[in-house]
Amino acid sequence: MFEKEIKKAITFISLQQRKNGSFDHESVSSSLINPKYVYTSTFPSSLIILALQNYKDVLKVNKIITKSSDFLKSQASENYSFNYWNRNSNNYKKMPYPDDLDDTALALSALFIANPKNISGKMLAKIVSLLTLVESRVGGPYKTWLVSKDAPKQWQDVDIAVNANIAYFLHLQDISLPKLDTFLDKKIKNNMLLSLYYPNEYPVIYFISRFYNGRYKNTLIKKLLSLQKNSYWENPLYTSLAISSLINLEYSGSQLLPAIEYLVKQIKSSSWEAFPFYVDPAIDNIKYFAQSKTLTTALCVEALQKFNIIQYKTKKNVSLKREDKIHKKILFTIEKKLKNIDKNIFASYLEIKKRIFFDSQKQVSLLPYYFYASLKKKYKQNISQKILIYLGQANTYGWVAYTIYDDFLDNDANPKFLSLANISLRVLTQIYMDLFKGNSKFTLFYFETMDIIDKANLWEILHARVPLSKVMERKIPTFNSLNQLAEKSLGHILSPMALMALGKVPKKQQTYFVEFFIHYLIARQLNDDAHDWENDLKNGQVNAVGSLVIKYAVKKHISLVNSKALQNVFWTKIVLSIHKKVHVHIKMGKFYLEKCSFLEKNDFFSVLIDSYLKAMEQALEERKQAMEFLKTYPLSRSSQKDLL
């Protein structure tokens, strides 16, 4: 919805951007008699980046954000604080202000949203030091201006909007400060939502809504709804702020659609009119406010885009209801069968069920459904909902058996679950035999797959069970063929293969999918091993990552009982190698997935395999930031004083 309006608005914003990436704004008073001024500051650039963040994939928006980011970087002090003014402007000299935490927090948030790599561990350490210097109490809230403690009282205020923007930046870094949260809670509870630096509550609530998940969300929602008149909020700017705030606060009431319709009607050609957003420097004791068509337009685009997401989620909920119905039917049938067999078997199932249904997508029971949804239309004709439910049961029984047998292989099993595992495996086999009566090819594939799984499990028992105390006596397992990692989990491919057989997908296409699935399983297992290697070693199990850690440690004569030394080996010598391996297998997996012409593009499996690359890249980035942060912070109190 509103694609034409949004496209025109983005073009308008790009045309208003200066070559250096900044944006101008008007400074106006409440009186029409007083003159208007045109200023350039960091504030609009930060706000526009944040408003357009969900359109980063659009080339024109990406250019806007990149240019604005470059401008913001040029404005950072050596301690990564920011000033209201463009440091290269005449106003920076004529109307000087100290650097402040409002501009700083918004600029840093914008830089992080533009590219998380913009905020290094070194930067974060210095920013934390800045906060420490101007905290009104240890842990917040914080004063607005980056000045010394003996500065005049006018520079010592503690402002709700400023602290909301600080909290947002910290939220982006996964940092939560209880005292800062308490400060904001009290302000919301007591309806103290006015700031020294903004004309009314709308910007303040907007800033809070971007991260707030406290006990007073409904208080903020009620406050905004109480300000609504004639289906909108005063003007397009405040309406856009209210809409975005309500959606951020997870409100999706019927009042939003009329407000959206009002916004669309108010667009003039390709932009919206300017309205006061924040307070500008007073001139001759007359109060001035900053306003900008460009900023209003960016915030209106944000509101329209957020509303579009709600509409998409509403449509998606229809699909989710169908998924949920199938999932419940699958579990109901399984539970009914196990109850009829024995109440103790059923009790065992309920315990295992908690371990396998850990994800919100219910991938255990619904993998056949997701695969079916990814098929192109002509391959769905022979597949009914009844078959999807039947295969969902098979997949669930398979997970139950796999989970229990894996516990036995890891010497961490309770014998009471063995009967449930055996029953699950028998029922799983019966389902596939019933579905493929007379189909000797699939039956052969089924049993060959089971043979591969058993051989892989036996290899692991014989070669990868090495207590650390006996590593020097025994040969360290070598995972020369990483296919070993995929083979023990190959049972997960059975339901997709069954659907391809039923849908008459060409044999060559099926082969491509098998190749994809093997590379996907290897990438997934390497990712898991990278997280579990240390615990596995303590339990006498050597996974693919632990094997590399041990080999390096033995080669360098590092003690295998020194956990910190082994962790250092992992982070400094092994993790990059694992990342490369994961990247290679994801690349190969995607290569074969693209050859699967029977699947829709951007299908479930594309998203699935990409998630493991993102997980490894995030781990590397977190490692880098953590090491930089620890190296730089804490600074001594004497060196902190030099920051101001």
Each residue's pLDDT tens digit, 164-204: 999 999 999 988 899 999 999 999 999 999 999 999 999 99
Q: Quick check: 184 and 139 in contact, CB under 8 A?
A: no
- Please give the average per-residue pLDDT across 2-21, as a whole number: 92
What is the Cα–Cα distance from 189 to 214, expressed in whole angstroms?
11
pLDDT tens-place string over residues 315-328: 555 556 778 889 99
More confident residue, 3 or 611: 3
If pLDDT is split at 50, 70 and 90, which confidence band does 640 have?
Answer: very low
Residue 484 region, left (φ>0) first, then alpha (ψ -120 to 50), else beta? alpha
**Cβ–Cβ < 8 Å for 306, 372:** no
pLDDT of residue 608: 76
Q: Return the CATH number of 342-632, one of 1.10.600.10, 1.10.220.110, 3.40.50.2300, 3.90.550.10.
A: 1.10.600.10
Look at the alpha carbons of 555, 561, 562, 568 in this order and tell me if their dihedral is positive or negative. positive
Res. 623 pLDDT band, cuts 50 70 90? low
- Convert 62-77 to b/e letters by CB count within 10 Å (16 or more is b): eebbebbbebbeebbe
Q: Where does the pLDDT of residue 631 fall: very low under 50, low under 70, confident under 90, or very high at 90 and above?
A: low
Q: Where residue 254 falls among pLDDT bands split at 50, 70, 90?
A: low
What integer pLDDT is reported at residue 628 of this predicted model?
63
Helices in 139-255 by DSSP H: which ranges? 160-172, 178-189, 201-209, 217-226, 236-248
Query: From residue 186, how far is each of 141, 199, 497 by CA, in Å?
Result: 12, 21, 57
**179 neighbors 142 (Cβ within 8 angstroms):** no
User: 479 pLDDT exceeds 90?
Assistant: no
Reading the block at residue 83, the tokens are 């000033």
The pLDDT > 90 percentage for the chain reads: 60
When pLDDT is averaged across residues 407-435 and rounded to a whole number, the result is 92
- Percent of the chain's residues with pLDDT above 70: 91
* Amino acid letter for position 9: A
Claim: this prediction has a pTM higher than 0.85: no
Q: Where are the domains of the chain?
A: 3-313, 342-632
Q: How far apart are CA 247 and CA 310, in angstroms?
A: 8
Q: Give pLDDT, residue 182.
A: 95
What fold is seen in the domain 3-313?
Answer: Glycosyltransferase (1.50.10)
Which range, 245-259, 502-516, 589-603, is most confident? 502-516
pLDDT at 630 over 50: no
More confident site: 280 or 466: 280
pLDDT of residue 484: 87
pLDDT of the residue at 33: 77
Q: At CB < 8 A and 24+ separation, what contacts does 580-583 make?
A: 581/482, 581/526, 582/523, 582/526, 582/527, 582/612, 582/613, 582/616, 583/613, 583/616
Residue 517 confidence class, pLDDT cut points 50, 70, 90: very high
Decide: helix, strand or coil at residue 100. strand
- Which range, of 491-495, 600-604, 630-634, averages the lowest pLDDT? 630-634
pLDDT band at 62 (very low <50, low <70, confident <90, very high): very high
User: What pLDDT, on the 0 to 100 scale, is given for residue 464?
Assistant: 87
pLDDT over threshold 80, residue 586? yes
pLDDT tier at 560, thresholds 50, 70, 90: confident
Q: Say which residue, 430 or 637, is predicted with more confidence.
A: 430
The pLDDT tens digits for 326-367 are 999 999 999 999 999 999 999 999 999 888 876 555 788 999
Residue of 217, 215, 105 whose CA lies nearest to 161: 105
pLDDT per residue over 86-138, tens digit each? Answer: 999 999 988 999 999 999 999 999 999 999 989 988 888 889 889 998 999 88
Q: Which two tokens stand for residue 639?
A: 């060196």
Mean of pLDDT over the chain? 88
Is residue 486 a contact partner of residue 573, using CB atoms and an 8 Å limit? no
State residue 573's pLDDT score: 86
For residue 475, the model assigns a pLDDT of 75
